[in-house]
Amino acid sequence: MHPQVATLIERLSHALRTHFVIALLASVLFGFVVPGLDMVPPPIMVFFLGLLMFVSAFRITVGEIRSITPWQPLLFYLLRYPLLSAGLWVVAGLVYPPLATGILLLTLAPAGVASPGVAGIYRGNVSLTIVIVVMSSVLAPFLIPLVLQLFVARQVDVNIFAIFRTLVISVFVPVTLHLPFRRTRVTTFLRANDSLIVVPTIATLVMLVIAGQKEFILAHAAEAFVFFLVAIVLFLGYYVFGWWLFPRSPWRDRVSFALASGVNNTAIVIVLAYLYFSAEVSIFLVTSELAWVSSMVLFKYLLHRFERGVTPDPGEPQRPNSD
């Protein structure tokens, strides 16, 4: 690749990572003002979700997965996904039933592929985070339909098989298709510059959902803002859950559990909500994308505040200075 082209790609990739929030806000605006987006057929959204998973799969490394003892990630998965999801669904059903399904879907969203990168920035255990990402993503096509069948299908008419089929197409198929390219230059390029595809793809999904539900949003603007606040509280709760689940673990592992719990692949549940659930559920999950970014900033601040009063464990990598 020509050096000038490589430099341009690197700068563009860095700009997209740095200004991810701006890209999300722009996609929300475009969803309202660009005509004809509400006419885009639903299979297009499944394609973009599959593209997101295809690109993200290149970050998985077998060597890092083999270096982790499985019992702790497995226990984390069981407590964080099936049990926490069920508990929050019950609480939401008592407090505000219309949001119960949205909260259930959000809590079931697998760990996001961005979490290993963020774990690396905060000196977390990247290998541990990758194991949780792989585990939660592979099991998502089975867990999400099962939990929806147990809790939601009794109250709402939901096509569980269609949801399972959508998850298989958008998760397993892209991950399988990426395998022939793993030992090519594509892997090196996408690991360094995946934001060139990931950020525009997420922005496109948000834009299409907004366009399809803009009439509901405009008629319930105050409600959408409340959804945003609720989602921030939920994400902060996810971080706290992961941080305190194994309080005697090393700092690096606790950071990774917190990030694997709070940095979620919300794109999956956004698409499911748009295709199979009400406008209210769909808008809650779209606002959760913005809340996800906001809560990560808050978690970063709290983590750095806590760092100042903690002496690192012997042999643990030096944590970065937040100042």
| Predicted pLDDT of residue 109 | 93
**β-strand partners of 111:** 264
Distance CA 68, CA 320 (A): 24
Spatial separation of the C-alpha atoms in residues 245 and 253, rounded to whole Å: 11
At residue 165, does pLDDT exceed 50? yes
In 3D space, the residue among 289, 235, 230 whose CA is nearest the CA of residue 260 turns out to be 235
Structure tokens at 94: 């008592």
Supply the DSSP string of 93-160, one letter for each residue: HHH-GGGHHHHHHHHHSPBPTHHHHHHHHTT--HHHHHHHHHHHHHHHHHHHHHHHHHHTTTTS---H
Average pLDDT over residues 131-137: 87
How distant, in Å, are the alpha carbons of 46, 167, 208 from that of 199?
16, 21, 14
pLDDT for 254-279, tens place per residue? 999 999 999 888 888 988 888 888 88
Question: What's phi and psi for 112, nearest 5 deg?
Answer: -80, 150
Cβ atoms of residues 259 and 119 within 8 Å: yes
Residue 264: strand pairing partners: 111
Q: What is the mean pLDDT of the chain?
A: 84
Beta carbons of 114 and 17 less than 8 angstroms apart: no
The number of residues making up the chain comes to 323
Kindly report the pTM of this predicted structure.
0.78
CA-to-CA distance for 106 and 261, rounded, in angstroms?
Answer: 11
pLDDT at position 307, please?
Answer: 65
Task: Give the chain's domains with CATH numbers.
Answer: 3-307 (1.20.1530.20)
Task: Return contacts of 116-119, CB within 8 angstroms, 24+ apart.
Answer: 116/59, 117/59, 118/259, 118/263, 118/296, 119/255, 119/256, 119/259, 119/260
Which of the two residues, 309 and 103, has the higher pLDDT score? 103
Between vectors from CA 100 to CA 99 and to CA 101, what angle results, nearest 5°?
Answer: 95
Extract the tokens encoding 33.
């003002």
> What is the Cα–Cα distance from 295 to 312, expressed in whole angstroms?
25
Distance CA 262, CA 274 (A): 22
Average pLDDT over residues 20-49: 86
Distance CA 164, CA 143 (A): 9
Q: What is the pLDDT of residue 80?
A: 96
Say if residue 158's pLDDT is above 50.
Answer: yes
What pLDDT, in 10s, does the model give residues 42-78? Answer: 888 889 888 888 887 787 777 666 767 788 999 999 9
Query: What is the pLDDT averaged over residues 86-105?
Result: 93
The residue-averaged pLDDT of 117-123 equals 68
| CA torsion through residues 28, 29, 33, 35, sign | negative
What residues have CB less than 8 Å from 204, skipping those under 6 apart?
Answer: 27, 48
Mean pLDDT throughout 162-177? Answer: 86
Closest to 56 (Cα-Cα) out of 154, 170, 140? 170
Measure CA of the first residue to CA of the last residue in the chain; give whole Å.
37
Closest of 144, 16, 141, 118 to residue 59, by C-alpha: 118
The answer to whether residues 129 and 117 touch, using CB atoms and an 8 Å cutoff, is no
